[in-house]
Amino acid sequence: MAEEPESCWSCCFSFILTMGVTAFFIWLSLRVTEPKCYLESIYVPALNKSLNSPHNSTLFFKLKLENPNKDKGVKYDAVHLTFRIFNDSNTTRALTNATVERFYQGHQKTAHKSGNTTVTGGGVNVTAVVNGKVYFRVDFDTRVKYKILVFYTKRDSLWGGANVEINNSSGLKVFGKPLRLGNSLPRIVSGASNLREGYRALYAILLLVLVVLHVLT
């Protein structure tokens, strides 16, 4: 009979340890990392002096989207893009919008999405030069949900943007590397909020552990 308290505490400790480990793995399984969106390339024929076609209203682009999650797929709603040109250091003028159709992306996969759109509102104003350079502003927004095993989470918003320097002789992006559409001033901050379901499950399990400890004591 003297060993019963020790046995009770041993069982209690084992239960708490098991619940803690379970909560930790639930948290890991529901924890997500937001996808990353890059502007891989952009081409503005109206700025290509070799073509001598300043009134060309077509704009070509290519996106790269990365899913960094090892065990979660990502389902994208339509990805909406806006293109603007800087008239000076502080003001921009709308050029055009574009849409990439919704798609699914597997674990740790990279998607490349190309498209083109027509510039409206008078076309590309090649006189819009800031300190001898042409700058575009490219922004995107979409909603994503994550696939965990066979279940999908609720949708989260994902958005971002960046300033892009365009070569005013070739009409191509100045820097060859993909440009992250993320935390870039002046006006858009990227961020799909991390899921809260994992934290809710963890809180529920911890609350259960506290209730059991209260009953035992």
Mind listing the pLDDT tens digit for each residue in 79-136? Answer: 999 999 888 777 888 899 999 999 999 999 999 999 999 987 655 655 556 666 888 9
Domain that holds residue 152: 35-193
Give the Cα separation of 69 and 67 in Å (integer): 6
pLDDT band at 30 (very low <50, low <70, confident <90, very high): low
Give the Cα separation of 76 and 138 in Å (integer): 19
Mean pLDDT value across residues 32-42:
94
Q: Which two tokens stand for residue 11?
A: 């069982």
Residue 200 inside a domain? The answer is no
Q: Note the pLDDT tens digit of each residue in 185-212.
A: 644 234 444 444 444 555 555 666 565 5
Residue 217 inside a domain? The answer is no
Give me the pLDDT at residue 108, please: 93
Residue 97 inside a domain? The answer is yes
Mean pLDDT taken over the chain:
79
| CA triple 159-161-166, angle to 5 deg | 150
CATH of the domain at 93: 2.60.40.10
Residue 202 inside a domain? The answer is no
Residue 198 inside a domain? The answer is no
Residue 199 inside a domain? The answer is no
Count how many domains the chain has: 1
Residue 143 inside a domain? The answer is yes
Per the CB < 8 A criterion, the answer to whether 126 and 176 are in contact is no
pLDDT band at 184 (very low <50, low <70, confident <90, very high): low
pLDDT band at 151 (very low <50, low <70, confident <90, very high): confident
Residue whose structure tokens are 């104003």: 125
Residue 48 inside a domain? The answer is yes
Give the Cα separation of 161 and 181 in Å (integer): 4
More confident residue, 21 or 18: 18
